[in-house]
Amino acid sequence: MTSSRSTSIGSPVGKRSRARVTRRTLDHATLLRLMSTPEVYRTDAPDRGEPVDEAPFSWRAILEIVQALALAVIISVVLNLFVVQVTEVRQRSMETTLLQNDRVLVSKVDYRFTSPQPGDIVVFNPTIDTSIPYVKRIVAVAGETVELRDGNLYVNGKLRFFPEAHGVSLQQSPDIKYPYKVPDGYFFAMGDNRQSSQDSRFFGAQPYNRIIGKVILRFWPPDRLIFFDW
């Protein structure tokens, strides 16, 4: 005897089967609808035609700019005080090496590691005049003996020649007696334009601690740019 098992639509089993079929159908339909909807692929960026709100005013951005400017000023001050400084040439005493209104870069660190040497161009505050710095060339250093004979410079009895210098080297002050021995811790400086320079021939040797720095670069005007030995 063959028995058949039928399921009534109204039975609980029939209801569960119909629910599974309906849910599966809805899931497929929902997925197809979502896949065909453009908004599913829309990004957060606004369309070209949509108005874009302007960025709100930001005090933080202003503060960052102010901080950057303050840092730049601090760095500039530190460099000027301890490393390098820009100096404008105001005398004609170094022509033609340096002309009036030339601008030079002065190193303040060179003489922390080395001593001034003959031939160095230095910026210093002379003991007789502190209103403006002087720019001269060191021609003799501590312990050397300077003489001026026949319009020429002699150091330790030998002619000391600087190719950049021109004009005769004459005495400028009766108070400076030659031969003149440069004291310890001092230097003797002269301008390259020998006949138009107020220098150590007038006010004597100067202390090393009056030196501001060593001229390492003439950068203005640009067509006269040159690096000096440093």
* DSSP secondary structure letters along 32-43: HHHHT-GGGG--
- Are the C-beta atoms of 138 and 188 separated by less than 8 Å? yes
Show the DSSP H helices in 9-58 as ranges. 12-35
What's the one-letter identity of residue 66?
V
With contact defined as beta carbons under 8 Å apart, do 226 and 123 qualify?
no
**Which tokens hold the place of 89?**
């040439």
> For this structure, is 58 an active site residue?
no
Q: Report how far residue 207's alpha carbon sits from residue 203's, in angstroms, rounded to the nearest whole number.
A: 12
**What is the Rg, in whole angstroms, of the alpha carbon atoms belonging to the chain?**
43
**Of 114, 108, 111, residue with least CA distance to 84:** 108
Q: Which one is catalytic: 17, 36, 58, 93?
A: 93
Q: Which residues contact 221 (CB under 8 A, 6 or more apart)?
A: 102
Q: Which of 107, 108, 136, 200 is catalytic?
A: 136
Does 136 participate in catalysis according to the annotation?
yes
In whole angstroms, what is the distance from residue 158 CA to residue 35 CA? Answer: 99
| Active-site residue list | 93, 136
